[in-house]
């Protein structure tokens, strides 16, 4: 089964983002070791997408580990002193 249809593409043959073929004598823009891009624009777009995904993942992880926000103290009327948000104050 040695034919062109059965050959796998090498990771340097095409841009990871737009899939445009990367010519033999042109610059190849690399990112994270083994991800090739045809231009700085494609590489930058992928880097921005990865950073956005990482920020989203970190925000989700923070919500899961920290749980709901704790009650915080707020100033009440002067005669009542401080009260906790979410609590009931009986006068």
Q: Report the run of H or E that residue 52 belongs to, with start and end.
A: helix 40-66
Q: Is residue 31 part of a domain?
A: yes
What pTM, to 2 d.p., does this model score?
Answer: 0.55
Cβ neighbors of 70 (< 8 A, separation 6 or more) are none
Please count the residues of the chain: 91
Tell me the pLDDT tens digit for each residue of 55-86.
999 988 887 776 655 556 555 555 555 655 66
Residue 3: pLDDT over 70: no
Range of the domain at 37: 9-58
Q: Is 36 helix (H, G, I), strand (E, B) or coil?
A: strand
Q: How many CB atoms lie within 10 A of CB 87?
A: 8
Q: Is residue 29 part of a domain?
A: yes
Across all residues in the chain, what is the average pLDDT? 77
State how far the Cα of 75 lies from the Cα of 83, in Å rounded to an integer: 7
Q: Is residue 69 part of a domain?
A: no
Domain total in the chain: 1
């Amino acid at each position: 089964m040695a034919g062109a249809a059965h050959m796998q593409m090498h990771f340097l043959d095409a841009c990871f983002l737009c899939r445009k073929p990367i010519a033999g004598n042109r610059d190849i823009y690399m990112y994270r070791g083994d991800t090739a891009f045809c231009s700085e624009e494609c590489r930058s777009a992928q880097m921005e997408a990865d950073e956005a995904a990482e920020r989203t993942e970190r925000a989700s992880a923070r919500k899961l580990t920290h749980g709901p926000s704790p009650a915080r103290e707020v100033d009440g009327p002067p005669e009542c002193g401080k009260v906790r948000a979410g609590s009931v104050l009986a006068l």
